[in-house]
Amino acid sequence: MSFQKGNKLRKGLRPLNSFNKGHIPWNKGLTKNDNESILKSSLRMTVDNPIYKINQKGENNFNWKHGNGRGSYPKEYKKIRKYIIARDKHTCRLCFKKKDLCVHHIDYNKKNNEETNLICLCRKCNLKVNADRAFWQGYMEKCRNYGWYF
């Protein structure tokens, strides 16, 4: 059988997830009140489910970081943030992009707003740096100590 654009399957075979024309789904017209399995599946991952609410708060949340993840920034951070972005010439210091910039704390301490502890990164690089903290903190501190400051 030769290749034909749009006809990727041999005649008579179809993918498992395809639907037959005219086929009526088993749950058509049913609501949560009519069928218990629909009710269970709709409550599984919704805010209305009391178990879901309990499992998403505090230590039960998959994103929990020992309670110190969302500390607030000091008041002087807004001023120094603009200065750091200007100092780094509105450029990410890892990939050299000029869009979606943010200021990153090298030692991951939001209270430490010294110029030598702050660096300008794009959002993508900031996510990458926050994923493997131990490696990137050591890498950036070595660069800073050797005098090669981004």
Please report whether residue 16 resides in a domain. Answer: no
Q: How far apart are CA 63 and CA 69, in angstroms?
A: 9
Token representation of residue 89: 């010439």
Residue 6: pLDDT band with limits 50, 70, 90: low
pLDDT in tens, 97-131: 999 999 999 888 888 899 888 999 999 999 998 88
What is residue 98's predicted lDDT score, i.e. its pLDDT? 92
* 103, part of any domain: yes
- Does residue 109 lie in a domain region? yes
Average pLDDT over residues 85-91: 92
Q: Rounded to two decimals, what is the model's pTM? A: 0.52
Domain span at residue 52?
Answer: 31-62
**Which pLDDT band holds residue 68 (cuts at 50, 70, 90)?**
low
User: Does residue 5 fall inside a structural domain?
Assistant: no
Are 82 and 91 within 8 A, CB to CB? no
**Count of domains observed in the chain:** 2
Residues 138, 81: one domain? yes
Q: Which amino acid is at 32?
A: K
